[in-house]
Structures are given as C-alpha cells and as structure tokens.
Structure 1
Amino acid sequence: MAAGGVRAWFARLTGAAALSQARAQAELAEVRLREVIDAIPEGVVFLDAEGRYILWNRRYAEIYHRSADLFRPGAKLIDTLREGVRRGDYPDAIGHEEAWLAAREAKLFTATGERHEQQVADGRWLMIEERRTSDGGVIGLRVDITEMKRQAEALEQALAHAEAAHRAKAEFLADMSHELRTPLNGVAGLAQAPDATDLSPDQRALVAEIRAAARQLDRLVNGLLDYGDADLAPDDRPHAAPDRPLKVLAADDNPTNRKVIELMLEAAGVQVVTVENGFAAVEAWRGGGFDAVLMDLRMPVTDGLAAIRTIRSEERAEGRPRTPTIVLSANTSPDDRAASAAAGADGHIAKPIRVEALFGALETALAGQAAQAS
C-alpha cells in the first residue's frame, strides 16, 4: 500500500473512532440529562417550536397517566390534549371543547411564564407554567396543588362557620341585653316613684333596699354582657396590631395562595391588597399607605428578594420609614432564611402558612418598627 493510501486509511480509522467516541459521549450525556430530569419532583416537559414533544420526565407521565400512552417524540401536545378532551380528561372543557382547546393552544404558543390552574378528571388540580426557550421551544412545569386547594377550601369553610357563629353570638347577646335590661330599668324607675310620697321609716328603708338590689342586678348584668362581648374576640383569636387598623400588601404569583392570605387577614379585619409578582409589589408599595408587606420568593418578572432589596434601597434613598416585610415561602433552609434577612426581610414564614405563625410574625415586625420609631 502506498504511503498516501496508508495515510488515508489511518485518517478514516481515527475519524471513525472519534465519531464513535462522540456518539458514546452524547448517549452518556443524554442518559445523565434524563436522570436529572427524572429526579425533579414536579412534572417537566420540553417541546420544540412547533409544540411537539422532545422530552418529558417520569413525574409528568404520572400526572397525566390517562394520556401517557399518547406521549412520543414528535407528537404535538395539542393533539394529546384534543384526545384527552375526547376521553373526558378535562372537566372544564365539557360543553365547549373547541373553545377550550383554542384557549389552551393560545397559552401554549405565547408561553409567557404566567401560571394557570387546570383540573383533571380524577379531581386533582394542577398548576401549569410554560416558558419559551432560547431556540423558540417551550419548557413546561406541572405541579399537583390538590392538597393546597383542599386546605384553602377547608380554611374558607372554617372561617365562614366561625363568622356565622360570631354573628349568632352577637345577636344572642343583643337579645339578652334587651331582655335583661328592660325589666331592670322598670324596677329602678318604679323604686324612685315612692320618693315623692309620704313613707314611714320602714317603708322608706324597704324602697332603699329595692333600689340597692336593682343597682346590684344592673352591675351583674353589665358584667355578664361585657364578658360575653369580650368573648366574641378571645385572646387566642389571631389578630395583628389590634390598636389600629392595618393595610397589608401581599405578593404571590399563585392565585390560591393569594386567596388563603386574603381569607386569613380579612377575617381579622386587616385590609389586604394582593399582587402577583415582585415588580407589581414594588409599584404598589411606591404608592404608600401599607403597614406591612408579605412577599413570596419565587415569582415571575421580579422575584421576592429583588423586590425587597428595591424597597429597602428606595427607603434609604428617599428617607421613607421602613415598611415591615415578611417572606412567605416554601423554601425554608438556613441559606434561604439568610438570603431573606440579607435582602432586608423582617421575618421568614414557611408554607403552608399557619394562621398563628403569620400573625405572630406580623405583630413582631410591627412591634419592632414601633420600637425603632420611638
């Protein structure tokens, strides 16, 4: 074999080896990528620019188990949804299937990161978030929020029952006040009438005893009714800064979370303004009038930490009083709490939010603000 032939043969040999090695590395990278994606606890799906499946993780297939048989690379997600609608997988679509599909497809192809909720046939609720990738495709996130929805509904029912009981008790006390004080007023008035007549010493002493007994009964009734009034708002009822009305700004991108916060605060007489991202929170705060801010961390447009840093920076620059700010987040590691404190938060509460924790943090933050002001 001539020298030129040997070189050509060697080049082909080394090129084939390099190609084989590159393929092996690509396969290994794909395996590792799938392992990482499968380890994510939320459902994740990747689509190309035409809305066709590229890759999805195990959790995504579990969430949509009724449609998992339709998943395959190259198939369109909207076609899967159309078959799911035909099977009755999406209760909200029943009766207006084409309009539902058109609206869902529009959201898919705008994919701004705005979150929305979706109910599936077995009663579960999902939170959906979809964003565009740099190559024009879509990455989608699916989170099962069924338990969160159940807790919000239970809280709303409990608050409704509590308010109904509160109103019934108030009505009872009002009725009792009328039924007890009306005859007492009569007794006291009648006891004064004999003063204008001639009474023997014994009779005058008897009238004095009647009037003293009427005054004692009046004190007892007043004490009983005052106790009942106080019991309408017992010390263990959640409240914040009861010496003045409060106005609180709450930022959370999840509509269910915003509803829970509203229910908790409004039940205690707190005025609430809610927004869905950190940018909107800063804009609302700039308008003034808020006694405290509740801030989620992971939000679109501007996250919670960036929003808190902006608020603190503008407070210093403009000489504005410090607004107590509390983080509400599912991220509660020491690093997360340290990051909140470094940004300027006055507290960090774990989700799901407990009423007593929320109001305890509010009272602590407001007390700290009052101490600094004095």
Structure 2
Amino acid sequence: MVTVCSDITDLKRDAAALAEARDAADAANRAKSRFLANMSHEIRTPLNGVIGVAQALTRTELSSQQREMLELVQSSSRTLQTLLSDILDLARVESGRLELKEEPFDLARAVDEAALLYAAAARDKGLQFLVEVAPEARVWTQGDPVRLKQVLTNLVSNAVKFTASGFVSLTVDATPAEKPQTLRFVVQDTGIGFDAQAQDRLFNRFEQADGDITRHYGGSGLGLAICRELAAMMGGDLGCESEPGAGAAFILTLPLKPAQAPAAPSPALAATAPSDEGAEAAPRRLRILAADDHPTNRRVVELILDSAAFDLASVENGAQALEAYRAQPFDLVLMDMQMPVMDGLTAVREIRLHEAVMGLPRVPVVMLTANALPEHLDKALAAGADRHMAKPFSVEDLLAMVADLTAQTPQAAEAAA
C-alpha cells in the first residue's frame, strides 16, 4: 500500500484570497457605478438651471455685449454637458446597459449633420473644412445614426481643436462590391499629431497624448475610448495614423447593411390636412402641472413655458402634485423623479390609479429628471410615465415634446371648464 499526501493549504489560501479579491473588485465596481450615477444626477440639476436660464435669456432683448457674455455662458455649458455625457456613457458601457438601435437611415445626411456642427468653428480658425461622401456611400443603411454621429462629431471636434492651420476633412467611401461590405470613414487634419508611443495609449480611458495637451487644450480623455467602444459595438473598428507635427488621420470602419428608404407620405393626404385643421376652433390654453423640489428647476420650466398658450401650476413634491391633479384636470404632467415627501415614481403610480378609479382619460406624464441612466428610464415607464427627458434639456426639445404630447390630449380639461 502506498499513501501519498499533498499539502493543499497554500492552494486553499490562494483560492480564498482570489475569491476575496474578486468580491472586493466587484464591490468597488458597483460603488464606482453608483458614484457615477449620483454625480451625474447632482451635476445635471444645477447645470439644467444654467442652460435653461441662458436659453431663456436668448429669447429676450439684449445688448451686443450682453449677448456676447451669454454666448460664453452657453459655450461653457455645452462643454460641461459633453463631459457629463461622456461620464454617463462610460458608466453605461461598463454596466453593459448601453444599447444600440437598429433602424434605416440616410448615411450621407447623417455624415453631413455630424460634420456641420463644427464647420463654423473650423472657419473661425481659418481652416479649410472638407466633407466628401463617395457616390457608393450615398445609401440608406441599417444601424444607429445617433451613435454614429456621436463618434464622427467627437473625431471632427478633436481635429478642429488640435489644428491651428491647414485643413480638416471627413471622407466616406464604401466597398459594396466586396464581401463583407464595409463603410470607411476617415477624419484627417494637419494639426499637432502624435508619436507611436502616444498612439498606444490614446484610446485608454482618461488618457491623452501627454499632459501638456490636457493643460493646453482641455478635455477628459474619455471621448476616444468611448468612440472605440461604440465602434466595436457597431461591429467595426477605430484606429489612427499620425506623426508629430504632421497631423493625424482617424479611420472608422463599419459593416455596410443596406436598407430601403422609407416611403414618402401621400401627396393627397398632405394636401387635405391643412383644410381640416382650418375648420377647428382656435387652440385653448393648455394646463400643465410641473413637480420639482428644486426651485431653480421650477423657475427654468416657468421661463420656458411662459407663454399665452400655457397655464402652468408648479409644486414641490409628488404629494402636492397628486393633490393638484385630483383637484383639477391637466393636459400634461412634468414630474421630477427624486423628491421629498413623495417621489415622482410613486406620484405617477397614484395618478394612474386615480385615473383608473375615476374613469378619467390617460393624461401624458413626462419624467423630467436628472436621473438619466437606462434603469431610470425603465422605472419611469414601468410606473406609468409616457416619456423620459433627462436634464439638462434644451428649450426646443421641451417645447417640441409638449407640442407632441398635447396634440392628441383628451379634451377632459376643456369639458370640465
């Protein structure tokens, strides 16, 4: 008989240490995600006040000096909003909650819309700004146009920012005859460029080519990392070529998924629509209920909706919103999510219950909130909300949403009056 004994004490100890390290890493990752979500919420609330008040000011009479100062405020606000969006996208990517849409869109139009956002900035710097879409790339394709434009605008904005003279170009071509079919986007500039060592870390998070770039040009170092993540999620790749002082070229390749253009609306229907509208009575004033615990955010909504077309009632929490809703009918409800006494989700559920018990028509409810993560959208829709609009929002977006949701609002409020 032969007996063999092995001392596995070290193996057990190592396994326990690895399990402990794994649990600690998971806990740290969850804590980081919660921190990013909380910071997103806390920053969005005051930023919404800055952007909202600035946009409201643009609708008033201003001197040339006041308008110049206001443009500086808006420019700084847009920079902060971009940084906040980058951080939020990073949290979504790390949590696996960033989802892409699949819909047909006009590729050439999407490219033009992305590039033209920075055409004025390029002209102001005296740069040639070129956008060229090859004939074979002027097609309808299947994908997520919003995320594609996010990648392209990031690349173009970087090219304009890091180029003092020369040109910035965006070219698009396709290889429809080859398999697999591929789209190739190239953003090229004559800017400062970078060396091979910097290129290796350029797509890492919170990294730029060197510290001097961060101090001189600003930025978080998140944009390119998120762009590469998005390119991979869309089934493609993002790379670059550059030399110091000789400019750079960023190359995005994506699969080409041909799609059919949507059918144009019937001319006959379009011609008869105005006559039907002309037969209707003049529009009445719309009743809107807005609930938000932050006084600045309430004032922003009041400034935006300060119009003869609206009767606005503002309250500080969900309990007051529910009380106001039960007391009189409204055409639209704008509800914050995080509020004292009663939060917005509970208030929406109570509003839907009140409608069901009293046999009232369903009134559109919008969660107008700084809670902007995908799970917040899911919770809002599950509670009974119709839309979710994240702060900070623009005047145009809010007014367009109000017009859209109240276009077919039940006439209960008019009948009750």
TM range, normalised to the smaller chain? 0.3 to 0.5
Name whichever structure is richer in helix by fraction. Answer: 1
Please tell me whether Structure 1 or Structure 2 has the larger radius of gyration of its CA atoms: 1
What TM-score comes out, normalization by structure 1 length?
Answer: 0.40
Structure possessing the higher relative contact order (Cα contacts under 8 Å, 6 or more residues apart): 2
What TM-score comes out, normalization by structure 2 length?
Answer: 0.36
